[in-house]
Structure 1
Amino acid sequence: MHVLLFGATGMVGQGVLRECLLDDRVTAVRAVVRSPLGVSHPKLSETVHADFTDFGGLEREFAEVDACFFCLGVSSAGKGEDEYRRITHDYTLAAARALAAAAGPDLTFVYVSGEGTDSTEQGRQMWARVKGRTENELLAMDFHAYMFRPAFIRAVNGEVSRTPAYRRLYPVLDLLFPLLRRLAPGRVTSTESIARAMIAVAGRQGAGEHVLRSPEINRVAAEGR
């Protein structure tokens, strides 16, 4: 399986990259980045690209892809709706449209969304509406689309969030993880489980549920090993 990865420097993306490099089902990983990752591995190649609203010129790279794992995203904190929509929706759909044209309907596209996403696009929370619109448009496209909606994500292999507030919060939550797992098991997953579930659904060729929350992510990750 040839994987295209967006968001490889984020917390989830770091975990996904690690598992892809370890998993024998993944034969090649191409990371689309703004600056080099500084990681060397026989399976890993990079495409340095500046404009995430236009992927013209990357048709050859995209045509080789079997699955795209789209982990790029930002917190809505401190951002207006236009800025958040540009990063969350516009970047995602630009990549998805370019991939659909180059790779065709056999492509699997896995999008990291979030618990609480508003599929109606009518709710009061801006981020949830934007995520909902993004999900709805991806699910309507001519490829195999899967929406991952994790709630609390535990970084288990040293992954680090790029968001300062999350970096301060996660060490505290990590200490509370055993309690969270007991009290709210349906809201807890890990970077490792998300990555393993992505690889598993990429082998389904469109089968199974297409919106996965933390319990489904954990189940598919466990079944897929």
Structure 2
Amino acid sequence: MHALVIGATGATGKDLVQQLLADQSVERVSVFVRRNLALQHDKLHIHTIDFDRPQHWSQLVKGDVLFSCLGTTIKAAGSQEAQWKVDFDYQYQFADAASANGVPRYILVSSSGADAKSRVFYSRMKGQLEEAVKKLPFEAVTIIQPPILDRKDSDRKGEKIGLKVIQVLNKVGMFRSQRPLSTQELAATMIRAAKENKTGITTWTGEEVRTPEVAG
């Protein structure tokens, strides 16, 4: 397998790249980043690019599967418009380039509650991206809608508060289906999705997102 990754510098992306490099069925891992990664491996090929210039990188988006886990926050981006550019525009442009280059499989990390018609900006953005990539001519599209993520060293204040609330509720037996998911487990789920032989469009939610050995 030749795996393509965008979002490799984020919490999920870092775990995904490490797991791909350790997977014997993966022959090559090509990552697309703004700044060079402090990581070396015989399988790893790093493309340092300007995301705003697809004409310079679109021809490089060739392989067996594109993993898309790029994302930011409004706080980091500075505005809704800037967040949309990263979370929607960049991801869609990569998906479009991959499908045009004949990449057969596409794995997208979306969000629980994604809804193209939502009044909530984040949920609407994620939902509209889902709808957009579904129209691209991939052989297989898997959209993963994880619950709140447990990220190592997270600086996302809202996410950290939500994580603590869910963990407290889980302890008293509430909202078990929405218990936090580690980024390591999400990465493993992405790889599992890539190895499935199914074609068409599928959306993974709830227990489907968890690895079988810990799904209960």
TM > 0.5 fold call: yes
Q: What is the identity, as a one-letter code, of the residue corresponding to 2:12?
A: V
* Residues 197-222 of structure 1 deviation map (CA, whole Å, 9 limit, x = unaligned): 21122122444871112411114x65
Amino acid at match of 1:71: C
The code of the aligned residue for 2:177 comes to G
Q: How far did 1:175 drift?
A: 11
User: AA paired with 2:202?
Assistant: H
CA shift digits 1:98-152 (9 cap, x unpaired): 11111x1x5211111111111xx22210111111110001111100211111112
Q: Give the letter for the 1:74 counterpart.
A: T
Closer, same or farther in 2 for the Cα pair 1:208/1:96, shift >3 Å?
A: closer
C-alpha distance 129-178 of structure 1, shift in aligned 2 (>3 A): closer
What letter corresponds to residue 108 of structure 2 in structure 1? Y
Give 5+ residue unaligned stretches, structure 2.
none
Size of the aligned set, in residue pairs, is: 210
% of aligned pairs identical?
24
Return the TM-score normalized by structure 2.
Answer: 0.84
Q: Is the 8 A contact 2:29 2:45 kept in 1?
A: yes
1:184 maps to which residue?
175
Aligned residues: CA RMSD: 2.9
CA distance in 2, matches of 1:198, 1:66: 14
State the TM-score, normalizing by the size of structure 1.
0.81
State the Cα deviation string for residues 140-189 of structure 1 (Å, max 9, x = none): 1100211111112234xxx444x45369x38x749948946953332232
- Distance (Å, rounded) in 1 between the aligned partners of 2:136 and 2:168: 37
1:42-57 mapped onto 2 (5 Å cutoff):
42-50=42-50, 52-57=51-56
Q: Provide the C-alpha distance between the structure 2 equivalents of 1:95 and 1:67, rounded to a whole number of angstroms.
A: 12
Residues 177 and 4 (structure 1), Cα distance of their counterparts in 2 relative to 1, 3 Å cut: farther
Q: Does the CA-based 8 Å contact 1:145-1:206 persist in structure 2?
A: no
